[in-house]
Structure 1
Amino acid sequence: MTHHSAEPAGGHKPLNGGQQGPTTVRIVAPVRQDVPVVLQANGTVTPISTVDLHPQTTSTISKVHIKEGQFVKAGELMFTLDDRSERANVDKAQAQVERDRAALADYERQYKRALELLDKKFIAQGAVDTLKSQVDSARALLNADIAAARAASVDASYTAIRAPMNGRVGAINVYPGSLVQMTTLLTSVTQLDPITVAFTLPETALAGLMAAQREGAVPVQVKLDNSSLAVNGKLSFIDNTVDPVAGVIRVKAQFDNKDTALWPGQYVNTQLTSHVIKDATVIPQNAIISNTRGTFVYAVDKDQSAKVVNIKRLYAFGEKAAVSGLNGDEQVIVDGKQNLRPGGKVRIASAETPADKPADAPADGTKQKG
């Protein structure tokens, strides 16, 4: 097959009477293997929960029980406010309840006695009805004062400010004697274990992520900048909306952080396997040619000539790429293709498979010339 418009990349015409000798090429045999699709992105460490502590009443600080930077457990006492007024209100409310109980008991005794007298015709029905109303009124008053006593106890509980969760205390903004009100920020508590990393991925990764999450936990690894330390976790959140402007989806991963290797606000490098391309066809990336005609490779045809095979690059990793469009039996040309044209004769110098070098990185740190 002859294409008059196609010439070798160097632009030189054959010198031996218009006949060009075979081009020496090196070939590679495609390899079939499972290829994990690894996604990488920059992320930010974010706490699952951060709570700003404010008093729920106006008072003065009586005692500060914690220190800045201290780790606290849920329910641990952090601040005590002056509670003298609140305790007095509790005592007053409880005393009122006791008085109401005594009054109710007295009315109930009178009502019971009145019923006995009514049976003997010693008292009028109207007097009995009056006592019944007094009993009902006393019972309602008792219930109201019991509720008031509970409210007073709730108000008194606001003077003891406790940790809402396990976490680390931030800066403390008040001291014993400080006057505080509901708008006063006392301190904050940040949950550090577990902790999350927020990052974004291309929307093209969404289908693979969703499929992987349906099959089970999706492992995620993060590395700190300028550090070889790696922390392993799992994907915990995929946002319900794709950013239509940036074309990305927001995700989060959760990590155990007992040793506090991750700190809120840190920038980290994230890596996760979204899915695995089963039985993928793998070839060296330097065998692939992309130009205005599309993406293709040269392969050696049966008559020892070069033929074009159109392919699609599915995923690139290191010096290798998983592609579609090859059946796996081709002899793919990796070296010498710059001198080729479709139908041109070739002479095979050597052959290798992509497995001859590590799949995730070049063997010598450089890419081969194509």
Structure 2
Amino acid sequence: MKTLNKPQVAVLAVAIAIAGAGTIFFRAGSDAQAEPAAAVPVVKIQYATERPVSDTQDYTGRLEAVDVVDVRPKVPGTLLKVHFKDGQQVQQGDLLFTIDPAPFQTQVHQAQANLAKVGEQRRLTELEQARAQKLIASNSISRKDFDALDHGAREAAASLKGAKAELAQAQLQLSYTQVRAPISGRISRAEITPGNVVSAGGDSVPLTRIVSDSELYASFSVDEQSYLRIIAPSLKAGARPTVKVGLANDNAFSYSATIETLDNQMDTRSGTVRVRARIDEVSPEMLPGLQARIRLQGGVPYKAVVIEDALVGTDQDRKYVLVVNKENKVERRVVETGPLQGTSRVLRGGLPAGSKVIVDGAFRAPGTVVSAVVAETPKPAANAVAGGLQ
């Protein structure tokens, strides 16, 4: 076997190294060709557009009756009868309770008798006055006697007026034994049952309560900023802001109302002012005291970006929207949110018109390069902002 010298060994080693490197390069190249480049994820977007909006703000309030009356007896006595059923509708003037009229009927009879007596006295003094006038003309009686007879006639006339007033008062007291409805509305239960003695006056126990239900207020408290932004401009323009009202079980705001009264000052402790709006058309299901959802709307219209509320995400105390920026990357854009209008959210800042808002797509991690495709219709997915929390 022939032995290789040192120069030959060196040449052979270099050749083997080159061959090995070529093999490695070939395999690496083959592997690279076997793995295609990853596809760019596609996301659906909508362009943010501006539109004229008016501010709205939602509140929780209560329905209140326009008129509420505690029915109290005006005369004392024994309650004889209740003439209504609990909770029924009553009309103004309907008979509600009867108090024993016997004592007051007696007073009427006494006043009638006194009136008859005083009337007879008045008739007699008038006759004497007429005779005295004839006698004084012929100087048949003294001036002193004439003046006494004339005074007696005038005094009798005054007594007659007093007797008539006493009779009218007695008749009025008798009429109060029939307790009638002072207003129309829905009546509560009878707080006192027949057989009990009732007292009269403002400190007496109410017999029942009537609330008007044909007209209702929606009462709520408005914060200072909403007052200045929505209510004040309308008042300055000489108009009354309107509100929408919904009941607790109503997803919509089905009723309209107009602000009628505001408190005369802002409550400095709560930073709110009390507002009452009269409901235009009252539904039979509405009762005073029910909780109400109230949407205040009005103010000066302005332009703002409006997007689906489902596209707005929350990160602690910040609101954001996912967009595709100029570099075709997903970007989290912090926004200033305004009021909710249906399913849409008004944005007061942070998202210029024309921004590409992501509405659907699996890859939403900020910084991801994506391919944006305009969505045909607004279709915010339930998880449209989930990726932004990664």
Structure with more of its chain in helix, by fraction: 2
Q: Secondary structure at the match of 1:55?
A: coil
Unaligned ranges ≥5, structure 2: 1-41, 359-363
Residue in 2 aligned with 1:15? none
Distance (whole Å) between structure 2 residues aligned to residue 64 and residue 75 of structure 1: 15
Q: 1:224 aligns with which of 236, 243, 248?
A: 248
The structure-2 alpha-carbon separation of the partners of 1:287 and 1:149, relative to structure 1 and needing over 3 Å to count, comes to: closer
Within 5 Å, which residues of 2 pair with 1:148-297? Answer: 148-182=166-200, 183-207=204-228, 208-212=230-234, 214-216=238-240, 218-225=242-249, 230-255=254-279, 259-275=283-299, 277-282=301-306
User: Aligned pair 1:124/2:142, yes or no?
Assistant: yes
Q: Secondary structure at the match of 2:127?
A: helix
Residue in 2 aligned with 1:76? 94
Deviation at 1:67, TM superposition (A): 1.5
AA partner of residue 108 (structure 1): E
Unaligned ranges ≥5, structure 1: 1-23, 341-346
Q: Secondary structure at the match of 2:285?
A: coil
Q: 1:109 aligns with which of 127, 132, 148?
A: 127
Q: Secondary structure at the match of 1:215?
A: coil
Contact 2:86 2:190 in 1 (8 A): yes
Contact 2:336 2:348 in 1 (8 A): yes
AA partner of residue 68 (structure 1): D
Structure 1 length as normaliser, TM-score?
0.74
Q: Which has the higher contact order (CA 8 A, sep 6+)?
A: 1
Contact 2:90 2:186 in 1 (8 A): yes
Distance (whole Å) between structure 1 residues aligned to residue 252 and residue 244 of structure 2: 16
Distance (whole Å) between structure 2 residues aligned to residue 52 and residue 118 of structure 1: 63
The structure-2 alpha-carbon separation of the partners of 1:175 and 1:323, relative to structure 1 and needing over 3 Å to count, comes to: closer
Contact 2:187 2:211 in 1 (8 A): yes
Contact 1:287 1:334 in 2 (8 A): no
The C-alpha deviation readout for 1:247-279, integer Å capped at 9, x for no partner, is 233222333566521123322322232335333
Contact 1:55 1:181 in 2 (8 A): yes
Contact 2:322 2:330 in 1 (8 A): no
Contact 1:239 1:250 in 2 (8 A): yes
Q: 1:92 aligns with which of 89, 103, 110?
A: 110
Distance (whole Å) between structure 2 residues aligned to residue 190 and residue 226 of structure 1: 24
Distance (whole Å) between structure 1 residues aligned to residue 318 and residue 251 of structure 2: 44
Distance (whole Å) between structure 2 residues aligned to residue 338 and residue 135 of structure 1: 108
Distance (whole Å) between structure 1 residues aligned to residue 254 and residue 148 of structure 2: 81
The structure-2 alpha-carbon separation of the partners of 1:153 and 1:39, relative to structure 1 and needing over 3 Å to count, comes to: same
AA partner of residue 232 (structure 2): M
Contact 1:55 1:161 in 2 (8 A): yes
Deviation at 1:103, TM superposition (A): 1.7
Distance (whole Å) between structure 1 residues aligned to residue 189 and residue 316 of structure 2: 59
Q: Secondary structure at the match of 2:264?
A: strand
Contact 1:29 1:351 in 2 (8 A): no
Residue in 2 aligned with 1:321? 346
Residue in 2 aligned with 1:338? 366
Contact 1:54 1:186 in 2 (8 A): yes
Contact 2:86 2:188 in 1 (8 A): yes
Of 217-226 and 95-104, deviating more is 217-226
Distance (whole Å) between structure 2 residues aligned to residue 215 and residue 189 of structure 1: 33
Distance (whole Å) between structure 1 residues aligned to residue 325 and residue 91 of structure 2: 70
The C-alpha deviation readout for 1:207-246, integer Å capped at 9, x for no partner, is 2123335324514221333676833333333222323233
* RMSD (Å), alpha carbons: 4.0
User: Aligned pair 1:61/2:83, yes or no?
Assistant: no
Q: 1:34 aligns with which of 52, 55, 77?
A: 52
Contact 2:337 2:345 in 1 (8 A): no
Contact 1:29 1:283 in 2 (8 A): no
Count of residue pairs brought into register by the alignment: 335
Q: Secondary structure at the match of 1:243?
A: coil
AA partner of residue 204 (structure 1): Q
AA partner of residue 74 (structure 1): Q
Deviation at 1:110, TM superposition (A): 1.5
